[in-house]
Chains A and B, each alone.
Chain A
Amino acid sequence: MPELKKIKLVLEDGTVFEGKSFGYHKSVAGEVVFNTAMTGYPESLTDPSYEGQILVSTYPLIGNYGVPKDDKENGIPKFYESDRVHISGLIISDYSFEYSHWNAKNSLREWLIQNQVPGIFDIDTRALTKILREKGSMLGKIEVEGESIEFHDPNQDNLVAKVSVKEKVTYGNGKNKVVLVDTGAKNNILRCLLKRDTTVIRVPWNYDFTQEEYDGIMLSNGPGDPQMCKETIGNIQKAMEIGKPIFGICLGNQLLGIASGAKTFKLKYGHRAHNHPVIKAGTDTCYITSQNHGFAIDSESLSSDWEPLFYNINDKTNEGIKHKTKPFFSTQFHPEASSGPTDTEFLFDQFIELIEKHR
């Protein structure tokens, strides 16, 4: 075991947790959020939705299976959700210095250092989680000795602009042309589309995609407050006029909601887990979903043309909406999973069916 430096996490409310540094040894500030998933740290860490956030893993043993190779397939990393680590810092209880997996290339520690992301272990992540649960997600900073730093609220930044592609990229050569509006898209959305006979045109968050020739629009996930994406919302409104199928995920769901006239609000401490139950409105059909969001649509604010599609059974918040007559729908959870349960991947099939129907 290497020599370990001391490092601490300071919360906005003054609470301090001292731990040991196992990543890149530097100070950072961000919003502290927790995730209760028990697997999938390489996927989570590269998920652009975590941009600006200091992630707490409630599962205590992390790093067990290392970090996978950076092989590429169809022009995107095969095992990562984006090209880099997006979290600002990682907080865990017990780090496995030695990893074991046939597909691993690096240790988590090496990977964090390469990506210049700090990591803290040996703190009571359950106690920390309970604070976040009681008081809500809050700002925090990781501080190393002799390098102080100010608190910083990433939700004030245009995080989407930070994580979106800078210019249009086209993937695949399938029958159905899908515009992927990249507000921080996870690669698995791309993979899920590409394996369904599509050509994916990935465009920057503020790109006027209505100029493109397309069969359907995929609104991706992404970080931060949806109100930051005014330009995207405007483009979605134009696309709604055009009327071709639209499928939104996570931030994409919120943007579609706002574009339709609904309101969003910030959840106390968000949903970040692999075990969130949702029920399809008006049915007895339930799914376990992967979630990662801090904002949600207020169901009450939906306009009369729209209706809820899914609810969260835990806290009854909205988990998806659909237009009553037009081929527009979206989910707050992640049907592309990665990481997390794959129960709702069929929604991509439904999206493709809509495209085929409306072509």
Chain B
Amino acid sequence: MKKDVKKVVVLGSGALKIGEAGEFDYSGSQALKALKEEGVKTVLINPNIATVQTSEKIADKIYFLPVTPDFVEEVIKKENPDGILLAFGGQTALNCGIQLFEQGILEKYNVEVLGTPIQAIIDTEDREIFANKLGEIDVKTPVSIAVTSIDDAVKAAGEIGYPIIVRAAYTLGGMGSGFCSNKEELISRAENAFSYSNQILVEESLKGWKEVEYEVVRDAYNNCITVCNMENFDPLGIHTGESIVVAPSQTLSNTEYHKLRELAIKIIRHVGIVGECNVQYALDPNSEDYRVIEVNARLSRSSALASKATGYPLAFVAAKLGLGYGLHHLTNSVTKSTPAFFEPALDYIVCKIPRWDLNKFTGVSKQIGSSMKSVGEIMAIGRTFEEAIQKGLRMVGQGMHGFVANQPLKNKNINEELAEPTDQRIFAISEALQADYTVEEIHDLTKIDKWFLEKLKNISDHKKVLESHNSLEALPNEDLRAAKKMGYSDFQLARLVLKAASEEMEEELLKVRQHRKAQGVVPIVKQIDTMAGEFPAQINYLYLTYSGSEHDIDYEKDGQSVIVLGSGAYRIGSSVEFDWCSVNALNTVNEQKYRSVMINYNPETVSTDYDICDRLYFDELTLERVMDIIDLEIPKGVIVSVGGQIPNNLAMKLHRRDVPVLGTSPVDIDRAENRQKFSSLLDDIGVDQPRWSELTSIEDIFTFVDEVGFPVLVRPSYVLSGAAMNVVSNKDELEHFLRLAANVSKQFPVVVSEFIEQAKEIEVDAVAKDGELVAYAISEHIEFAGVHSGDATIVFPPQKLYVETIRRVKKIARQIAKGLNISGPFNMQLLAKDNDIKVIECNLRASRSFPFVSKVLKVNLIDIATRVMLGLPVEKPRKNLFDLDYVGIKAPQFSFARLQKADPVLGVDMSSTGEVGCIGENYYDAVLQSMLAVGYRIPEKNILISSGPARSKLELLNSARMLKERGYNLFATSGTHKFFAENDVETTLLHWPDENKQPNAVDYIREKKIDLVINIPKNLTKNELRNGYQIRRDAIDFNIPLLTNARLASAFIYAFCKLDKKDISIKSWDEY
């Protein structure tokens, strides 16, 4: 039955990126848990230090190393495992596994691939083999022609007929894919796709067909189940990662459902998968005709969603199947009495909605299509579609209150928006319905199934009913109940019935709350039990609904519950690190024997795994829903400081409702959040900060700037378009920015602060108790201040700070902890220039860097913080940053390749989608590991440098010399060429893109003659922007590593010049 394996290597997915995000932390954690339960030793390779899977007690050995064949080989050599799992780390792990296999490394070290055989993986990855394979069992796939040249692509498209779709083989989440309706579009699309893969596919377009997915499991005994099916709200043509998705399918008849299910099982058997796979179908909306679009022979985003949607732990089961178990040998972890061989029956509907952050990027196209751009997702659970989608639209956290009662869309052409969807499509449907478009008309434009549109129409129809009343007393209970069943929030009711204005909202929505509670209109708690109530389940996986009359669980109301508020949808700036913080807070709550209660709705997380806490409410983090849960739990208190900004923003509101907020008082949190209050506190304790002012007119802004001088950082409170924040260096830029991007008025003041150039940025992550500093970590950025701390490369312990600086930073942390009477986690950012130190930001919550510093320091700051918040005594850790004889570096991961046309340049607003953290023997060791882990490659031969402003030219001069000594060929654009020549560094001149002269930088990039591009943006003049943009964008589009910061470029160059790749330490976390 069980295979004789003693030690298994598990490959992780590395940094979070678009198309490969937190879901693989969940999958990997589950797999590791399954192996541990079987007594198998686990070795995890994953440089993503912020994940839960790279935590103590989850894997036996953890290597924070890049998931690439060379590093994995070194680990295998050292660890001597007998098995490897490739299916739990996304496409990164799968691709790495295929390479390990093809290079004969697995065979050489006698490592068995557990689960799906590698050949089956290869069969599903190569579309031609895959289509042939399915052809053998008469399963239909789209007509698809694989080509390796542009000419053949054009020929293939001619055969199939336009429109066609182009896809690059072996890529993540549809990278390089897209629809083409004519030859020109095809050529440009194909050129781009060839930069990712040497094979592309030209396929028939099935635009408008339904998209349906099945999650299928097979064991070594050939037993198969489909755990879940899911239907995309958006028809084919929009990547499933970009679609709203419901589970189970809603518009499929029994024969359609089971026809596709039968095919899925036929496919998994024929391919020979052992474990889990995902089958994606296109289904004709007018017949039962279908095509198989894709099979993923691994755990995927969809499988994580399916696990959360059903309660069936796919990754956990898949790992066990890899060890040789049959599905019938394993137990359903929910009922604990029935087997894992069954198919979950749902008695609710889930709705997944993607979260985009396209506003964070300049130049990016907002249209959504066949390649993925979203950075996160949410899952909403309800007993009506209306309830689930309205919950979901709030959960996404883009300032919307549901399907209706939102601010109107700005400058939108509804027809265009419906026909050519952007991230705003669902709201365009809302506006269309309110503008009396018929369902038929909307269907014609969107091809969305009319069932979904009718349901949305129910919501919009009910809006009219609600608006027809002007007071709660006048609102019939029947209409109130109907509204709640359709997922209307108290906020929406306040806006529609009470006509409440935004400023008085908090008060008004509480009136609604009071009223409905008085009328007995309260939500009901239901379990997700995998069996639709058929068997008793001791499960605490819960959601709230208004379609119910009886709670599934009994409440103790003993004051022993501790509620931890999670982080919501992953987004730029808030991602897996807050999941780590939440999970660790729960662990501590569990250890202390309190009842741990989690509220979160992100299906990609470990914190929404029902066995991590005593009760999981997979529900909204709105004041309304949190209060609903508090009313039921009557908790000891609520922890708001480990889930990022969403819970932090609730602190004061909960406090005003007399909810015990554990840790730092919300009043003090507010003192840190409020700019004025914080400023006066700093003045009181004598801590410096950059001069700033909140201004309400253009004249005042200029007066202030005259006083502090350029550059300044401008932060509008209401953004018209483009970046929310910007650094401007002169009057023209300031005028330009204010005119284009911001609205300045009394209602929308602008905060302008002095911007200090050439300053070092320092982070403090710390925990205090009753105002006394308990534990702290000080780290430094490699980049100078001006790069958002989430995009900066961070070194811990700091290597280049004066001891004096560290001492003073610590002192400031102490003063602030005292000044704000902090009890719990906090984070500060400071500037240091010479020995002048200024505070730029302070948050009384855990920060993005908590897992990184906790793991490098090997002191779990969240555990300490949680103990503090629970009121327990804590000891100061006996270790501090001066004791470490190794270096940790946290480096950002960008996803510009997916964001077509976005300018891949860093600024004061964050644009990275993930990060890694690596540990090395020394600074360069850590730099090299972390840079390789986020996808940089050590250049072979040719490097192009456009070194930007004089300062960075100087910064890069020594690096350039070093590169020359190492025999690299340097290419440079005119200014850099001239400057380097004057300093005796010989470079080959490449002309700027707009110069139309040969040799041209653009040609060199497109012909892939360059191995590394260093392009430092100079200033905001149009010409510079255009030329620089062209080079940067081409580097991204042609998949050439790009560096845009001179300090980081130098660090990387020094690292690979001083250290050979083979000298990188292969050491596990516990060996440091």
Q: Which residues of A contact B (CB under 8 A)?
A: 17, 34, 36-40, 42-43, 58-61, 64-65, 68, 93-94, 96-103, 122-127, 129-130, 133, 273-277, 279, 284-286, 288, 313-314, 337-343
Q: Can you list 24 contacts pairing A with B, beta carbon distance less than 8 Å?
A: A37-B345, A39-B248, A39-B249, A42-B254, A43-B254, A60-B384, A64-B251, A65-B251, A98-B451, A100-B251, A102-B287, A103-B253, A129-B533, A130-B533, A130-B550, A133-B534, A133-B536, A275-B344, A285-B221, A285-B222, A285-B223, A288-B341, A288-B342, A339-B258
**Is B524 positioned at the interface, with any CB of A under 8 Å from its CB?**
yes
A130-B533, A273-B532, A275-B531 known; 11 new pairs, CB 8 Å cut-off, are A38-B345, A94-B384, A100-B454, A101-B253, A102-B285, A129-B532, A130-B552, A133-B533, A286-B328, A313-B338, A313-B342
Q: How far is the CB of A243 from chain B (nearest CB, A)?
A: 33
Complex Cα gap A102–B548 (Å): 32
| A58 pairs with B451, CB closer than 8 A | no
Q: Which residues of A contact B223 (CB under 8 A)?
A: 284-286
Cβ-defined partner of A125 (8 Å) among B250, B257, B347, B524: B347
Known: A61-B384, A286-B328, A314-B342. A36 touches B532 (CB 8 A): yes
Complex Cα gap A124–B545 (Å): 11
Q: Mark B560-600, 1 if CB is under 8 A from A, else 0.
A: 00000000000000000000000000000000000000000
Name the residue in B342, B349, B450, B552 with the highest tally of chain A Cβ atoms < 10 Å from its Cβ.
B342
Q: Which residues of A contact B346 (CB under 8 A)?
A: 38, 59
| B547 pairs with A286, CB closer than 8 A | no
| B222 pairs with A129, CB closer than 8 A | no
Which residues 457-471 of B sit at the A interface, judged by CB distance below 8 A? none
Which residues 342-361 of B sit at the A interface, judged by CB distance below 8 A? 342-349
Cβ-defined partner of B258 (8 Å) among A36, A123, A124, A337: A337
Complex Cα gap A280–B21 (Å): 41
**Is B802 positioned at the interface, with any CB of A under 8 Å from its CB?**
no
**Is B662 positioned at the interface, with any CB of A under 8 Å from its CB?**
no
Which residues 253-269 of B sit at the A interface, judged by CB distance below 8 A? 253-255, 257-258, 261-262, 265
Q: Which residues of B contact A94 (CB under 8 A)?
A: 383-384, 547
SS of B interface (majority): loop
| A40 pairs with B254, CB closer than 8 A | yes
Known: A285-B221, A285-B223, A286-B223. A340 touches B258 (CB 8 A): yes
Cβ-defined partner of B342 (8 Å) among A97, A124, A277, A340: A277
Complex Cα gap A339–B256 (Å): 11
| B550 pairs with A124, CB closer than 8 A | yes
Complex Cα gap A125–B348 (Å): 11
**Is B385 positioned at the interface, with any CB of A under 8 Å from its CB?**
yes
SS of A interface (majority): loop
Known: A61-B250, A285-B221. A36 touches B345 (CB 8 A): yes
Q: Which residues of B contact A58 (CB under 8 A)?
A: 345, 347, 532-534
| A314 pairs with B451, CB closer than 8 A | no
Name the residue in B261, B349, B547 with the highest tally of chain A Cβ atoms < 10 Å from its Cβ.
B547
Which residues 289-336 of B sit at the A interface, judged by CB distance below 8 A? 326-328
Complex Cα gap A313–B455 (Å): 39
| B349 pairs with A60, CB closer than 8 A | yes
Q: Which residues of B contact A276 (CB under 8 A)?
A: 342
Q: How far is the CB of A271 from chain B (nearest CB, A)?
A: 9
For residue B284, which residue of chain A has the nearest CB?
A102
Q: Which residues of A contact B258 (CB under 8 A)?
A: 39, 337, 339-342
Q: Which residues of B contact A (CB under 8 A)?
A: 221-223, 225, 248-255, 257-258, 261-262, 265, 285-287, 326-328, 338-339, 341-349, 383-385, 439, 449-451, 454-455, 524, 526, 531-536, 547-550, 552
| A314 pairs with B257, CB closer than 8 A | no
Q: Which residues of B contact A284 (CB under 8 A)?
A: 221, 223, 326, 328
Q: Which residues of B contact A313 (CB under 8 A)?
A: 328, 338-339, 341-342
Q: Which residues of B contact A60 (CB under 8 A)?
A: 347-349, 383-384, 547
Q: Which residues of A contact B385 (CB under 8 A)?
A: 61
| B454 pairs with A65, CB closer than 8 A | no
Known: A96-B454, A284-B221. A275 touches B347 (CB 8 A): no
Q: How far is the CB of B173 from chain A (nearest CB, A)?
A: 28
List of 6 A-B pairs having minimum Cβ-Cβ separation, nearest first: A40-B254, A98-B454, A36-B345, A100-B451, A58-B532, A36-B532
| A68 pairs with B253, CB closer than 8 A | yes
| B250 pairs with A64, CB closer than 8 A | yes
Q: How far is the CB of B258 from chain A (nearest CB, A)?
A: 6
Q: Which residues of A contact B347 (CB under 8 A)?
A: 36, 58-60, 125-126, 129
Complex Cα gap A284–B324 (Å): 13
Q: Which residues of B contact A342 (CB under 8 A)?
A: 258, 261-262
Name the residue in B261, B287, B526 with the highest tally of chain A Cβ atoms < 10 Å from its Cβ.
B261
Complex Cα gap A36–B348 (Å): 11
Q: How far is the CB of B462 from chain A (nearest CB, A)?
A: 10
Q: How far is the CB of A143 from chain B (nearest CB, A)?
A: 18
Q: Which residues of B contact A40 (CB under 8 A)?
A: 253-254, 257
Cβ-defined partner of B532 (8 Å) among A59, A68, A279: A59
For residue A290, which residue of chain B has the nearest CB?
B258
| A277 pairs with B252, CB closer than 8 A | no
Complex Cα gap A122–B485 (Å): 10
Complex Cα gap A43–B253 (Å): 10
| A275 pairs with B345, CB closer than 8 A | yes
Known: A59-B347, A60-B347, A94-B547. A286 touches B341 (CB 8 A): yes
Q: Which residues of B contact A37 (CB under 8 A)?
A: 345
Cβ-defined partner of B547 (8 Å) among A34, A93, A285: A93
Complex Cα gap A129–B223 (Å): 30
For residue B481, which residue of chain A has the nearest CB?
A122
| A288 pairs with B343, CB closer than 8 A | yes
| A65 pairs with B548, CB closer than 8 A | no
Q: How far is the CB of A357 from chain B (nearest CB, A)?
A: 25
Complex Cα gap A127–B552 (Å): 8
| A286 pairs with B534, CB closer than 8 A | no
Known: A39-B257, A64-B451, A126-B533. A275 touches B328 (CB 8 A): no
Complex Cα gap A285–B548 (Å): 39
Cβ-defined partner of B254 (8 Å) among A17, A39, A97: A39
| B327 pairs with A286, CB closer than 8 A | yes
Q: Which residues of A contact B439 (CB under 8 A)?
A: 98
Name the residue in B253, B327, B342 with the highest tally of chain A Cβ atoms < 10 Å from its Cβ.
B253
Q: Which residues of A contact B532 (CB under 8 A)?
A: 36, 58-59, 126, 129, 273
For residue B451, which residue of chain A has the nearest CB?
A100
Known: A36-B532, A36-B534, A38-B346. A127 touches B548 (CB 8 A): yes
Name the residue in B262, B347, B383, B552 with the highest tally of chain A Cβ atoms < 10 Å from its Cβ.
B347
Q: How far is the CB of B336 from chain A (nearest CB, A)?
A: 12
Complex Cα gap A61–B385 (Å): 8
Q: How far is the CB of A282 from chain B (nearest CB, A)?
A: 13
Q: How far is the CB of A19 from chain B (nearest CB, A)?
A: 10
Q: Which residues of A contact B550 (CB under 8 A)?
A: 124, 126-127, 130
Q: Which residues of B contact A122 (CB under 8 A)?
A: 547
| A65 pairs with B345, CB closer than 8 A | no
| B345 pairs with A98, CB closer than 8 A | no
For residue A121, which residue of chain B has the nearest CB?
B547
Complex Cα gap A288–B262 (Å): 11
Q: Which residues of A contact B526 (CB under 8 A)?
A: 126
Q: How far is the CB of A39 from chain B (nearest CB, A)?
A: 4
Complex Cα gap A279–B344 (Å): 17
Q: Which residues of B contact A337 (CB under 8 A)?
A: 258
Q: Which residues of A contact B285 (CB under 8 A)?
A: 102
Known: A59-B347, A94-B383, A102-B285. A126 touches B552 (CB 8 A): yes
| B450 pairs with A100, CB closer than 8 A | yes
Complex Cα gap A279–B219 (Å): 14
| B533 pairs with A314, CB closer than 8 A | no
| A65 pairs with B383, CB closer than 8 A | no
Complex Cα gap A286–B257 (Å): 21
Q: How far is the CB of A284 from chain B (nearest CB, A)?
A: 4
Q: Which residues of A contact B338 (CB under 8 A)?
A: 277, 313-314
Q: Which residues of A contact B341 (CB under 8 A)?
A: 277, 279, 286, 288, 313
